[in-house]
Amino acid sequence: MGLEMRAIARRDNRTSVLAMPGTQFEWGATQTMSDIFKKLLRLAKAQARTIHIASYEWERVQGFALGLSRDLDLPLRVWSAARGVEVLHSDGRREPDEPDNHDPLEVLKHIDANEQPGIWLLEDVHPYLSSEHHQLLRWIRQMCRMPESPRKLILLSTPGTSLHPDLCKEIPTVDVPLPDSSDLSTECRRVATDLDTNFTESSEALIEAARGLTVMEARLAFAQAAVENGRLDDAGVALVASEKERIIRQSGVLEYYHASEQWGDIGGLESLKKWLDQRGRGFRQGARNFGLEAPKGVLMLGVQGCGKSLLAKAVAAKWQFPLLRLDVGKVYAGIVGESEANIRKALQVAQALAPCVLWMDEIEKGLSGVDSSSQTDSGTSARVLGTLLTWMQEKKEPVFVVATANRVELLPPELLRKGRFDEIFFVDLPTEASRQEILNIHLRRKQRKPEEFDIPMLAQASAGFSGAELEEAIREGMFDAFSDNEEVKTKHILTAIKSTYPLSRTMREPIEGLRKWAKVRARAASNEAPEDLPAADSTPAPQLKQEKALNPFVPPAK
C-alpha cells in the first residue's frame, strides 16, 4: 500500500508556489525546477526590476540566475558578503568586478548610477533586510522603480520567504521547494560522472531515499554511497536513508521516526481507529477517481497518557508512511525571524517526503498565547501560526497532519475551525472494557499470559486510570514480584494499582472541564460513554520523597 501511495503522490499535478507581492507565499504541490525557472523568466520579462528568491540552496539560485542571464542576454554579477561583486560566466568562471565593495548599500548605489544593463544577484543579503538598515531598504525600493532602459534586474536571495514589510508589497517572492525526484536523479548522475562510478538509472529506491534533502545534502549522501559501494544503485539506499534521518534530526525541529506500533497495541479508541482506517483508504487512487481529496489531518485532544502519541505512531506504521515529528515548541526557539524559517523548512521537508504523516505533538505548547505574544515577540507567534494555518488549508500533497493537545484553552480558535483538520477527536480516559484490553496488551508485551490474571477485577479496581498509568502499574507489580523472588501475579498488580494516585484525581476539575468542552466540539474517540470520574477522596495526594525533604538552609525560628 505504501508504495502505491507514493506512486500516487508522484503522479500528482504540479501547481504553483509563486507568491505575489503582499502575500507571504502560496503552498501548492511541489514544482519542478523548470516550473520555477519559467516563473522567474515570466516575471523578468514582465519587467519586474527586483525579484526575491527564497531558498537555502545558493547553487540552485545561481543556476536560475545563469539561466536568466542566458535567456535575457544580460551579463550576470553576483554580490556576496565574502567575495564582493564578481561577474559569473556560464562556464563557471568568475572575475572580480566593480565596485570592489563588501557593503551592499554601496553596491546598490553603484548599480543605480551605472549605465550598464545586467542582472545582479545579491546573496547573503538577509541580515541587512531589517529596519536597522533603513537606508538600504529605501534603496531597494528605489531599485524597484528603475527606468526600463538600460535593463537592470536585481535578484535578492534569502533562505526564508518573509521580507521586511517595506519590501513585500513591491517585490514578488519565488519560493524554491526542495528538489523533486527528477532533480535528485540529475544530481545522482552528476555524482556518478564526477566520481567515475556506475549509476543504475533504474535505482528509483536510491532517489526516493534522498527525497527531503537539499541538492547539496543529497550530493554528499550519494557520494558517500558511491565511495562505500563503488557504484550507485539500491545498495546505497540504507546509507542515503540514514544520512537523511541524521540531517532531518540535526535541523532540530523535525524528527524522523521508524514507527512499528500496530493497531493491536492500542486498547479502546475504536471510533478513532475506524475513522483513521477509513481515511487511510482516502489516499488511494480509487478515492481520487471517486472525487475525494487527500485527507488533511486529525486533531486529538485529551487527557494525558491515553494513547494520543501512540496512535500517531501507529497510523504511520499502518499506512506505511514515513513519520515526521514536528516539535512545535522548538520552532519558536532562537532568534525572531528564525522561527518562521524553521517552520517553513519543516513543512517543505514534509512536502518533499509526501505521502507522509506529520505529527505535531502537544501543539498548544508552541501556539498558545498568540495574541498576547504578538506584542512581545513582534508578532512572530502569530506569523508562525498564520504560516501553519495557510499551509494546512492549502496543501495539495498527501501530508496527513496528526496534531495532539492536552489543553484546549490554550489553542487558538483559528486552529479549530473547520477546514484545517478533517476531524477533531476527544480521547478520554479508558472505560472498564478498554482498561481490560490495555492490561491484556501490556501483559502480553511483558511476555506474560493475560489468562493467568484476573483482568476484570484489575480493570474494575483501576477506574480513572490512564493507559500510561495502567502500563506503569504492571511495571511496578513486576518490580515488586521480582524483589520478592516470585512470578508476577494479580495481587502484585492490584497492590500497585491501589498505591497509585491517578491523574484523574488530582486533575478532576480540568478533566471534567475538558469533557464538557469536547462534548459539543469534538467527536468521541471511544464507542462507549465515559465513566464518571472516581470521587475525590479526602486523603491528600502522596508526596514524593524530594517533596517531603526539609530544606536544611531554612534558618531556625527564634
Ligand X SMILES: Nc1ncnc2c1ncn2[C@@H]1O[C@H](COP(=O)(O)OP(=O)(O)OP(=O)(O)O)[C@@H](O)[C@H]1O
Residues that bind Mg ion (CB under 5 A): 308-309
Chain centroid to Cα 436, Å, comes to 35
H/E element, 402 = strand 399-405
Cell of residue 132, nine digits = 536597522
What does 67 bind: ligand X, Mg ion, none (CB cut-off 5 to 8 Å by kind)? none
Half-sphere exposure of 319 (CA within 13 A, CB side): 29
State the Cα–Cα distance between residues 142 and 276, nearest whole angstrom.
Answer: 54
Residue 462 contacts which entry, ligand X, Mg ion, none (Cβ below 5-8 A, type-dependent)? none
531, 463, 533, 518: which is closest to 300 by C-alpha?
518
- What dihedral do alpha carbons 244, 250, 253, 259 form, nearest 10°? 50
Grid coordinates given for 155: 535578484
Closer Cβ to ligand X, 88 or 259, answer by number: 259
The two counts, helices (H) then strands (E), for the chain are 26, 17
User: Please, which residues have CB within 8 angstroms of residue 171's CB and are 6 or more apart in sequence?
Assistant: 21, 50, 51, 52, 140, 144, 156, 163
Q: Which is nearer to ligand X, 63 or 329 (CB)?
A: 329
Closer to ligand X at the Cβ: 381 or 406? 406
Q: Please state the closest distance from residue 200 (CB atom) to ligand X, in A.
A: 41
Rank residues 365 and 489 by Cβ distance to Mg ion and give the closer one. 365
- The region that residue 209 occupies, defined by phi over 0 for left and psi between -120 and 50 for alpha, beta otherwise, is alpha
Smallest gap from residue 361 Cβ to Mg ion (A): 5
The option from ligand X, Mg ion, none interacting with 468 (CB < 5 to 8 A, set by class) reads: ligand X
CA–CA dist 537, 540 (Å, integer) = 8
Is the Cβ–Cβ distance between 406 and 302 less than 8 Å? yes
Instruction: Output 40 or 357, the one with its CB closest to ligand X.
Output: 357
* Concatenated DSSP letters of 450-464: GGGS-HHHHHHHTTT
The angle, 0 to 180 degrees and rounded to 10, between the axes of the packed helices 58-72 and 33-45 is: 50
Q: Which residue is nearest to ligand X (CB)?
A: 467
Contacts to ligand X by CB under 6 A: 266-269, 304-310, 404, 406, 430, 438, 441, 467-468, 471
Tell me how far, at minimum, the Cβ of 310 lies from Mg ion, in Å. 8
CB-nearer residue toward ligand X: 137 or 473: 473
CB of 437 to ligand X, least distance (A): 7
356 binds, among Mg ion, ligand X, none (CB under 5 to 8 A by kind): none
**Residue 24 partner contact from Mg ion, ligand X, none using kind-dependent CB cut-offs of 5 to 8 Å:** none
Q: CA 409, CA 204: separation in Å to the nearest integer?
A: 47
CB of 300 to Mg ion, least distance (A): 9
Q: Which does 358 bind (CB under 5 to 8 A by kind): Mg ion, ligand X, none?
A: none
Name the minimum Å distance from CB 308 to ligand X.
3
Q: For the CB of residue 434, give the shortest distance to ligand X in the complex, in Å.
A: 6
Instruction: Tell me the closest approach of the beta carbon of residue 427 to ligand X, in angstroms.
Output: 6
**Residue-wise burial string across 231-269, b where 16 or more C-beta atoms lie within 10 A, e elsewhere:** bbbeebbebbbebbbebbeeeebbbbbebebeeebbbbb
d(CA 74, CA 45): 12
At its nearest, how many Å lie between ligand X and the CB of residue 446? 11
306 makes contact, choosing from ligand X, Mg ion, none, with CB < 5 to 8 Å by partner type, with ligand X
Specify the residue, 175 or 265, whose C-beta has the smaller distance to ligand X: 265
Partner from ligand X, Mg ion, none contacting 467, C-beta within 5 to 8 A by type: ligand X
Strands (E), 265-368: 297-302, 323-326, 356-360
Residue 524 backbone phi and psi in degrees, to 5: -75, 135
Residue 54 contacts which entry, Mg ion, ligand X, none (Cβ below 5-8 A, type-dependent): none
Q: Which is nearer to ligand X, 164 or 308 (CB)?
A: 308
CA distance 112 to 106: 10
Of 309 and 339, CB closest to Mg ion? 309
Shortest spacing between CB 30 and Mg ion, in angstroms: 30
State residue 375 phi and psi, 5-degree precision: -85, -30
State which residue, 213 or 415, has the beta carbon closest to Mg ion. 415
Shortest distance, position 205 Cβ to ligand X, whole Å: 31
To the nearest whole angstrom, how small is the minimum distance from the Cβ of residue 436 to ligand X?
Answer: 11
The entry of ligand X, Mg ion, none near residue 307 (CB within 5 to 8 angstroms by kind) is ligand X
Count Cβ atoms within 10 A of the Cβ of residue 540 and give its class: 0-12 exposed, 13-18 middle, 19 or more buried. exposed
Q: Which does 118 bind (CB under 5 to 8 A by kind): Mg ion, ligand X, none?
A: none
The whole-angstrom separation of Cα 14 and Cα 172 is 20
Q: Are 209 and 241 in contact (CB under 8 A)?
A: yes
Residue 267 binding result from ligand X, Mg ion, none, given CB thresholds of 5 to 8 Å by partner type: ligand X
Smallest distance, Å, CB 364 to Mg ion?
12
Q: Which is nearer to ligand X, 207 or 403 (CB)?
A: 403
**Smaller CB distance to ligand X: residue 67 or 267?**
267
In the bound state with ligand X, the residue whose beta carbon lies nearer, of 184 and 468, is 468
Contact 243, 220 (CB under 8 A): yes
Place of cell 500517531: 312
The interface partner of residue 55, options being Mg ion, ligand X, none and the CB cut-off 5 to 8 Å by kind, is: none
